[in-house]
């Protein structure tokens, strides 16, 4: 289901994926099956989203972001793709950010460019992730710090 008030330019939308009102999905974006893309989400061209992914309201996924299967991205999570942004000056290539299978990112977290969040990792709400996060770990804070292993 694509809401009539969404601007979905991509033809690469999986089966049983919902895209809600006020979303923008650019032409080269790829979204898998059984996803829920909530209201007011922006998805740029060089973005790949796996299957069974939830992207809550107010998230922007910029060029270079890959989201694997079964990931939860909370409301207003902020991704970046350029470590040294300047107006009208673009890098040769944008940094690659990877969110591995089963990871969860809490509301209002910021994920710096070039980060990998490991499989089944959890990022607490409001965290600022400045370095790679290993699989099966809980991190939170500003900057985000390791808290404990997850089962």
For residue range 7-39, what is the model confidence (pLDDT) as tens digits? 999 999 999 999 999 999 999 999 999 999 999
Does position 42 have pLDDT exceeding 90, yes or no? yes
- Residue for token digits 């009539």? 4
Domain that holds residue 127: 1-151
Does position 53 have pLDDT exceeding 90, yes or no? yes
Least confident of 34-43, 81-90, 96-105, 107-116: 81-90
Total domains, the chain: 1
- Residue for token digits 């292993």? 149
pLDDT of residue 63: 97
Does position 151 have pLDDT exceeding 90, yes or no? no
For residue range 75-95, what is the model confidence (pLDDT) as tens digits? 999 999 999 999 999 898 999
Strands 72-73 and 36-37: what pairing? unpaired
Q: What is the CATH classification number for the domain harbouring 102?
A: 2.160.10.10
Does position 99 have pLDDT exceeding 90, yes or no? yes
Mean pLDDT, all residues of the chain? 97
The CA R_g of the chain, rounded to the nearest whole Å, is 15
| Contact of 107 with 56, CB cutoff 8 Å | yes
């Amino acid at each position: 289901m694509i809401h009539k008030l969404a601007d979905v330019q991509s033809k690469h939308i999986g089966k049983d994926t919902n895209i809600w009102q006020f979303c923008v999905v650019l032409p080269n974006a790829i979204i898998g099956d059984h996803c829920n893309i909530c209201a007011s989400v922006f998805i740029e061209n060089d973005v790949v989203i796996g299957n069974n992914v939830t992207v809550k309201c107010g998230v922007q996924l910029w060029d270079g972001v890959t989201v694997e299967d079964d990931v939860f991205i909370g409301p207003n999570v902020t991704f970046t793709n350029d470590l040294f942004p300047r107006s009208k000056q673009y890098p040769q290539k944008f940094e690659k950010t990877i969110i591995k299978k089963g990871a969860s990112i809490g509301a209002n977290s910021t994920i710096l460019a070039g980060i990998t969040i490991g499989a089944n990792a959890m990022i607490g709400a409001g965290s600022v992730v400045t370095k790679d996060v290993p699989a099966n770990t809980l991190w939170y804070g500003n900057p985000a710090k390791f808290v404990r292993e997850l089962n």
